Amino acid sequence: MSNIYYDKKVTDNERRDGLYEGDLYVYSPTSTTTEFINFARGLIVEAFGDLDPVTAQHELPVEKYVEILKDLKPRFIHHPESKKYLRKILKERGCDPELTFFDVPRMRTSTSDDYLTAGIAYAFHPHRDTWYSAPMSQLNWWLPIYDVEPGNVMAFHPKYFDVAVKNGSAEYNYQNWQETSRKEAAKHVKKDTRKQPGPEEALELDPQIRIMTEPGGMTLFSGAHMHSSVPNYTGKTRFSIDFRTAHLRDLKELKGAPNLDCACTGTTMNDYLKVADLSHIPDELIDRYMDGHPQKPKLD
């Protein structure tokens, strides 16, 4: 069973060790994370105009909603302010800027009542990020932009942190996804036909953990943790931000969560930027991961 730590003061090394064993770390909002979500809210309000973004889905045809997100999300992802905030947040959380690498932040939307669950607002089935060519040392950071409740957050399924699951990761290659499927996200409105790795056996989703923080509060977890989008029937759209980090020494030493069942190829490591100077992970290290996880899965 995962341990959940709230505002616990530990070193980054201690925290990573716990996260690789399935622990969850939860942090209260800070002035920096509050500024970050206020910046995100500014872009959201600009995109939705006079409509309340949390309930705008009830007043717009889904095709119009997709058009708004199609412009809003890339603007947020690639805005230089987004990287500035991430670098500041990571330094405040004790991450070594010379050894910590991050990818660009993503703005996520979870609409209510099956309004939009495909493509640009994909509703994630139970999965590990490591099925998607992420390294076993990847850590995920998640924070809500507006108020959330149990019916529109994400769920963790701790039973499977140390239990292998049959899945389709062997058919997934991140570089192929980048070249083809990711670019087509906005085309998938009613149904998402892009092939993505998921469980290939029935899962017991309970017990599950749902964490609610104030806007700007952060939840930190391993990319190997099984998690999913909670089916949203609250009548409100959830807006959130997530980003990922990896520690250079852990990547070199193949340290991270255990690889129980990941058989994907390619790697997301090309996307990572060093906190200190925005440089990339050395090519020779990335090459070690291109043929798949160096930590071979226990499940064939």
- CATH number of the domain at 151, please: 2.60.120
Instruction: Show the domain range for 188.
Output: 4-289
Residue 253 is assigned to a structural domain of this protein: yes
Task: Note whether 131 and 197 are within 8 A (CB).
Answer: yes
In order along its 300 residues, the chain shows pLDDT tens digits of 579 999 999 999 999 999 999 999 999 999 999 999 999 999 999 999 999 999 999 999 999 999 999 999 999 999 999 999 999 999 999 999 999 999 999 999 999 998 987 656 555 689 999 999 999 999 999 999 999 999 999 999 999 999 999 999 999 999 988 887 554 444 434 554 557 899 999 999 999 999 999 999 999 999 999 999 999 999 999 999 999 999 999 999 999 999 999 999 999 999 999 999 999 999 999 999 999 999 888 654
Residue 295 is assigned to a structural domain of this protein: no
Residue 296 is assigned to a structural domain of this protein: no
Residue 170 is assigned to a structural domain of this protein: yes
Residue 9 is assigned to a structural domain of this protein: yes
| Number of domains into which the chain is organized | 1
> 10 Å Cβ neighbour count for 18?
18
Residue 280 is assigned to a structural domain of this protein: yes
Residue 186 is assigned to a structural domain of this protein: yes
Give this prediction's pTM.
0.92
Residue 155 is assigned to a structural domain of this protein: yes
